[in-house]
Amino acid sequence: MSEPFIPRLSAPVEPTTTGAHAGTTTLQDRKYRQWFKGTDIDGDGVISWKDVRLMGERYIAARGASQSATAARLNQELNAFWTHVIAPMDQDGDGQVDLREMTEGFRRALTDPGLYPQQIQLVADCYFDLIDLDGDDKIDQEEFQQIFGLAGNLPFEHCATVFTALDLDGSGTLDRREFHQALAEFFYGSDPDAPANDLFGRVAD
């Protein structure tokens, strides 16, 4: 088990305090919308447990790892992620979460980067291990493109640009800390220039 990751965001989170975006920023709303598009696997405009399960299966299939222990662990953590993070956003009790419910839910839940270890890290570690099939504890550009370009929602032609920007030490690979830093910046950060903003596809203005 890796040590809990405490993110250091490139800019402090400065929530707005008025209007429909109270508790978050417009940039964060746009990032949440981009993540929603990638998670709504069947394209019906809502996220259900089926979508979360299919999201995991899509990544597992891309890596040809359906029988791996990592795949089993990912499914377990995604179940917990659905139960404890996504499902509570279902305001009308219909068993699914629409964009408004998810956005408002993320505004409420993702306010403290210090909670990253409890909210995101366990699922993120599973994804890292799934991508890093050679077990060197690093993700190279080819592995990144396979997952975020083929199985994710990042246009393939943008993968190299995003990867290079996330490679903070210029090593040509993403280590586990850089991977967590990118996810923490995406979900909690408010810096309009952060490269992680486009991790799940280019965020529209």
The string of pLDDT tens digits covering residues 129-147 is 988 878 899 999 988 888 8
User: Which pTM was predicted?
Assistant: 0.83
Beta strands in 22-62 (DSSP E): 46-47
Tell me the pLDDT tens digit for each residue of 27-51. 999 999 999 998 999 999 999 999 9
Give pLDDT tens digits for 75-100. Answer: 999 999 999 989 999 999 999 999 99
* Total Cβ atoms within 10 A of residue 66: 10
CA distance 90 to 112: 21
Q: Alpha carbon of 121 to those of 13, 70, 114: distances in Å?
A: 19, 15, 11
Give the three-class secondary structure for 140. strand
Query: What integer pLDDT is reported at residue 61 of this predicted model?
Result: 87
